[in-house]
Every structure is written in structure tokens, then in C-alpha cells.
A and B are shown apart, each in its own frame.
Chain A
Amino acid sequence: MADTATTNVKEAAPVDAQLARVPTVVVDDVHIVYKVHGAGSGRGSATSALSRIISRKRSPAIREVHAVRGVSFVAYKGEAIGLIGSNGSGKSTMLAAIAGLLPTEKGGIYTNGQPSLLGVNAALMNDLTGDRNVVLGCLAMGMSPAEVRSRYQDIVDFSGINEKGDFITLPMRTYSSGMAARLRFSIAAAKTHDVLLIDEALATGDQKFQKRSEARIRELRKEAGTVFLVSHNNNAIRDTCERTIWIEKGELVMDGPTDVVVKAYERGERP
């Protein structure tokens, strides 16, 4: 039964989609284990810490959390992939690992170029002004000063920070969380990325900005990049991604066309 379904899908697919696609991210049977310090239930007093050092025992406060268990998939050029799952299912961990920020316990993650992760908490330099952050962020991504000058106005306009007054010259610590998230996305999206990972970074933006950023994500895909999007907003996933991966308890539940996977996720049906 399953075999016939596969052949049907292949026959229905357009011819060019059957040609070899260029993989950008290969995730091969990845396991990720967190070591959490200070999670012990015992007393964390100075004397107990001292006696632990003297007795050379390993801290009982280190606990291991198996966050991702054996996930495998391949992502291709020009794809936008949504990651869905309940809180704590391992989506953000998966993205951090693809970005190279977390070591894998087992298995490997291979990418084309350096992926960039855009997280909701990723602060830039809070004590510096917005315009300094734009310039420094672009320079850090490897742009030349001339390139930064030519892109600067586009970035500020895209972020919409100056719509309600001259806010770009204020320190970033004075921004609302939505404004900061918008500026961060605008900076990161100014450059073409081979692989862009977006972790709930758009959730705090307003309606207008979300539409703008969805359009920018589509552009980035056209420039032959791959975009991953973690979101709890299923409509955002439907609008931007044609492929969705459902992760639950660190395991891959489903990987397929967005409408099929999101429908199953909303109904709570596991295959």
C-alpha cells in the first residue's frame, strides 16, 4: 500500500522536481544530549560544594537531558521548511544544532556554508544605539564598510523602526521586544544566507511587519537559500513553507507537505 502511494506521488510530481536537487542541510541520525548544571534537588550551599570538591565526586547537580533522539532529514536548495511541535519538543535545539551552536552526541549535521540562526532571545548590543547595531551587525556578517553604507537605509526602512519617530538613534535597551526583534531580523535578512534558521523571531512583530518578513523569506528562498522556520503560528507556517517537519519528544513524527503535516498536527493524529 505504502509503495503504491509513493509511486503515485512521483508520477504526479512535475518532471523537473524529479531531477536531482542540491542538498543544503543533511541531518543524519542526530542525538543531542544537554548537560544541565545546577539542576540537582540537593542543597546548593557553599559547604556542600566544598565537600564535593574535596571528595572529588562529580556534581550531582549535573543532569542529562536527551533533547533530540535520532532525527534524520535532508533539506534542499530553495526550500522553506517549517518545524512544528509542542513546547519542549526539541525544535529550537534542532535549529541550534544545525547552526553549529550545540555539539551532537551521535550522528552528524552537514551544511552548505555557515547557517545563521535568528532566535527570539538573540540580543545584539543592548547598550548601543540602533544605528550602531545595524552597522556592527552588517560588519560582523562580513560586509565591507561601503556595502554597509549602501544597505543601511534599506535595513532601517525594512525594520520600520523609524515609522513612529527617530528611534534608530536610541540605545537598543530602550526598544520594545517587538522593535528589537524587527531590527534583528532586518539586519540578518540584509545578507543572502545559504541557510537561514528563524526561531520564533517573527512572532513579536506586528501584522504589517510579519507580512513584510514573509515576503523577504520568499525572496531569500529565490536567491537559492534554504529557510527553516520554527513557529507556533500554524498560519505563518502555511503561508511561508511548503514542507513541514513535526517533532515531538525529540523524535521526528512526520515530514511532508505543509498542509498534510499541519492538518495532522492540529488534529493531534500521529501516523
Chain B
Amino acid sequence: MSTLSDPLSLSAPRGADAGLTPQQLVAKYGLTVSGARPPLPKYVQQLWSRRHFIMSFATARLVAQYSTAKLGQVWQVVTPLLNCVVYFLVFGLILSGSKSIGNYVPWLCIGVFIFQFIQTAVQSGTRSISDSLGLIRALHFPRACLPIAFTIIQLQQLLISMVVLVGIVLASGITPGLSWLLVVPAIALLCLFNTGIALAMARVGAKTTDMAQLMPFILRTWMYLSGVFYSIERNIESWPKWIQLAADVNPAAVYMDLVRFAFDPSIDNRHSLPPHVWAVAVAWALVAFVLGFVFFWKAEEEYGRG
């Protein structure tokens, strides 16, 4: 019985540490609370050291996406094309929304592709934590890798769509110009904006699993309010001033306009883009990214719990 009543002999500190309380031991050897959230600068540094993981994860996921389909990677090109066909059928032919817009087909396709990028980034961001619980519980890495990687998957998908889009734009008779270069900064800003939203939604979605059910409705409402298929400005001309202002700074509409006007300055029969649009686009990107990142980091230690 004497050996049994000696339960702490292997646990108790020996030698110079004998008699120290657990708290004193912790202080002496500089142990840290398990799973504690690192300070922001250190977190950014950890995230940067995982950049290869983020890129490989995104590429592997994109390739695996259609691995069960017979046509495989062909779907990456076919899916955006089919989307455009459906919307053209409904809004271009049946509802004839094309009358007021000069070059309706490229105008519509750009809107569909850009909004799809926002939509899928938000949706996959919302599910990024709950869909990767196995990975989160098995390995330790900064969790922000996941929503960022999921946004990059959607960016890669968008770039494939853009190749399709260039074909559509050229086929509809628009001549390439120097303004096409503006597509690059516009998409870069949009990508920053999407990453921020995806990070914020990842935290919300990880805590409130009901969000994944609710998001499709919110996103659909946003889509109809953003003028993807018809010009929203012409429809709300008689509405109160604040609604017009809200429609004006709506980030989805801002980014869509930037890309549309970059491809063809006369695409909307308006011939010019208000000068504040670029400023609004930069502001949205920075605000969404910084706030989203900090919001996500604040709950870093809680992902994968419970």
C-alpha cells in the first residue's frame, strides 16, 4: 500500500525545484497557456511562414473539386459559361433587360463572374472552419490559412472564368485597349475585399452553424440589389437619396463597374465612370481586410473547439 499512497512521486518537482507550486514552476520555466492566441504581429509572421501551405492547399482543393466528375477539369470552364447562358436566357431574352445597355452580353457576363467570385468566397469562407475540423484538430497552424486558402481557390476559379470572358468580350466586337490593364488592380482589390469578408464570415460561421443555411438568401438579395443583370441606377432614380447613395457605394456594384469599364469604357452607354469609384474600391478593400483579419484573429484559440 505504501507505493500506492505515493502518487505524486513522479509528478512532484525534484532537486532545486522541490516544493515549488505548479504556478511557480510555470513562471520559472516560462510555460504558456496551451492553445493561447499569439499576439497580432507574431500571428501575421506565422501566417507568412505558412504561405506555401496556403497555395498548395488551394491548388490541391481546386483540382480535387471535380475529381468525381467524368469530364473533370472541363467543368471549370463549362460552369461559368452555363451560368451566363442561363442568365442571358432569363434577363436578356425573356425580361429583355438588354435594351438600355449597349453591349449586354459582355456586360452581363462580367457582372455574373465578378459577383460569383464574391458569392463563392463568402460561402466557402463561412464553411471553411466547419468543413476542415479534422484538419484543425489534427494539426496546428494559424487558422486564418483556411479562409484565405478558400478565397484563393475562388480567385483561381475566377481567373479561369476571365479567360472565357476575354473570348466573349472579343467575340462581341470590343477591341482590346490599354484600359484592359485596369482589370488587374480591380481584381486585386476585390480579392483583398473578399478575403476580409471570408475571414469575418469564417468566425461567424464557426460559432453559428445556422449561418451556412442563411447565407444563400442574404447573398441572393445582395445579388439582385447590385445590378448584375440590369442597371440598378436606372431602376431607383426616383427613390430617396440615401438609397441611391447606398446603391452607389455597394462594394459588389463598385467592383463590377470597375471591371466593366476597364474592358469597354462605353459598355453602359454612360461613357464615363464617376471618379470616386476607385477611391471607394480601395477603401472597401482595406476596411474589409483589416477588420476581417482582426475579427478572425480575436477568436483564434476557439476554432475547432467543442
Contacts and interface: CB of A to CB of B under 8 A. Distances in A.
Interface of A: 1-2, 4-6, 9, 17-28, 34-35, 72-75, 97-103, 108-112, 114-119, 121-128, 132, 135-137, 139-142, 144-145, 171, 184, 188, 243, 252, 254-257, 260, 264, 269, 271
Contact of B16 (A20, A72, A97, A109): A20
Contact of A123 (B23, B50, B134, B302): B134
Interface in B274-295: none
B31 A122 contact: no
B3 interface: yes
Interface in B1-32: 1-17, 22-23, 25-26, 29-32
Nearest to B46: A142
A163 to B, nearest CB: 23
Nearest to A108: B33
28 contacts: A2-B2, A5-B2, A5-B3, A5-B5, A19-B16, A21-B15, A72-B11, A97-B34, A99-B35, A102-B306, A103-B302, A108-B26, A110-B34, A112-B32, A114-B34, A117-B137, A123-B138, A124-B139, A126-B134, A136-B57, A137-B139, A139-B50, A139-B52, A140-B50, A140-B57, A256-B4, A256-B9, A271-B4
Interface of B: 1-17, 22-23, 25-26, 29-36, 46, 49-50, 52-53, 56-57, 60-61, 64, 67, 134-135, 137-141, 145, 301-302, 304-306
A255 B166 CA distance: 69
Contact of A188 (B8, B9, B25, B139): B139
Nearest to B21: A28
B13 A74 contact: yes
Contacts of B64: 125, 127-128, 171
Given A111-B33, A124-B139, A142-B46, 20 more contacts: A21-B14, A24-B31, A25-B31, A34-B306, A74-B13, A100-B36, A101-B137, A102-B305, A103-B302, A103-B305, A108-B33, A110-B22, A112-B31, A122-B134, A124-B134, A128-B64, A171-B64, A254-B7, A256-B4, A257-B10
